[in-house]
Amino acid sequence: MRQINESLLKRLYKAWRADKPQSEGPHPDEEDWVDFIEGRLPAGDYERLKIHLLECSRCATNLATSLKLYNCPKVANPAELMLQTVYLKGDRSSRLIELLLKLRGKAIEIVRSNAEVVLGQNSVPFVVLRSQGIKIFKEEVVVTKVVSGNIIEIKVSNENGNYFNICLKLKKKKTPSITKEFRANLLKEGRELESYYSDSGIVSFLHLFPGSYVIELYQANRKISSIALEVGKWTPAIRH
C-alpha cells in the first residue's frame, strides 16, 4: 500500500480543484471561520461552509494558512480538511457504494468509486487520486464510506489475477469501536449466493470470480447500505 504525506495531499487537492468552478456567492466572514474551526457551528452551517470550501479556492487557501499559523489542535491538518470538502451533500448521504475494479496480474486497478481509498494512515477520495493517475495498487485495495452512522470498510484482495476476496468491516462513526452485529448478503444477477451474520464486526466472501455483484448490509433487519461491485480482468491492448 502506498504511503501519502501532507504535501502530496495538497498537490492532489490543488490539481483536482483546478478544474472546478469558482464560487460567485458571498464569502463567510472571519467569525464564521473561527466558529467553524472551533466546532461551534450548527450541523447545517458547518456543512454549508464545507461545501463553500469546495467551490472557493480563496477561502480554502486562507483557512489552510490560518490553521497552519495557529497550529489549531482541534481540526485535521489543512490538507485533510480541504480533502473533506470533496464530498457534495448528495454523495455523502448516499447509501450506495460503487466500486469498479480490474485485476491486473497481482495488482488491482480502481476504475471508478464514490468512496475514499485508504493510503497508509490517510483516506483520500478516489476522484482526487484519479486526477493524478493514481489508480493501481499492489495486491489489495481498501476503501471506506460513512453510511448511516457507520464507517463501512471494504478490502478487496487479488488472488493471482483469477479470483478475489472481499472483507467487510463496520465501525461506529463517533468511536473507533467495531459495530459487531450485522448481516451481509452477496447477490449476483439478483440471486443470493451467500449470506453471513457477524457478531464480530467482520464478514468475508472468499474465492469469487470476476463479475458483477451486489452486497447488501443489514442491521437489526434494516438495510443500511448496498455495495455495487464490479470486478473485471485487465487485458492488454492488441497492437496491429
Of 99 and 131, the one with more pLDDT? 99
Side chain identity at residue 104, one-letter code = R
**Per-residue model confidence (pLDDT) at position 193:** 96
Residue 43 in grid coordinates? 450541523
Side chain identity at residue 152, one-letter code = I
Of 66 and 212, the one with more pLDDT? 212
The answer to which of 32-46, 103-117, 134-148, 177-191 has the lowest mean pLDDT is 32-46
**Per-residue model confidence (pLDDT) at position 25:** 64
Residue 28 in grid coordinates? 463567510
With 50 as the cut, is the pLDDT of residue 239 above it? yes
pLDDT, tens only, 166-215: 999 998 877 767 777 899 999 998 899 999 999 888 999 999 999 999 99
**Per-residue model confidence (pLDDT) at position 156:** 98
Of 46 and 7, the one with more pLDDT? 46
What mean pLDDT value characterizes the chain? 78
The answer to which of 34-48, 123-137, 178-192, 224-238 has the lowest mean pLDDT is 34-48
With 80 as the cut, is the pLDDT of residue 15 above it? no
pLDDT confidence band for 221 (50 / 70 / 90): confident
Of 56 and 23, the one with more pLDDT? 56
Of 124 and 53, the one with more pLDDT? 124
CA separation for the pair 85, 89 (Å, rounded) = 10
CA separation for the pair 61, 53 (Å, rounded) = 9
Residues 36 and 72: beta-carbon distance below 8 Å: no
What number is the average pLDDT over the span 145-150? 84
pLDDT, tens only, 67-115: 655 455 444 444 444 444 443 333 444 688 999 999 999 999 999 998 9
Instruction: Quickly count: other Cβ atoms within 10 Å of residue 20's Cβ.
Output: 12
User: Which residues, at least 6 apart from 180, have a Cβ–Cβ distance to it below 8 Å?
Assistant: 198, 199, 200, 201
**Per-residue model confidence (pLDDT) at position 102:** 95
Which class would CATH give 95-233?
mainly beta
In degrees and rounded to multiples of 5, residue 30 shows phi and psi of: -60, -40
Domain ranges of the chain: 6-91, 95-233
**Per-residue model confidence (pLDDT) at position 86:** 43
Residues 219 and 181: beta-carbon distance below 8 Å: yes
What number is the average pLDDT over the span 140-158? 92
What number is the average pLDDT over the span 49-59? 73
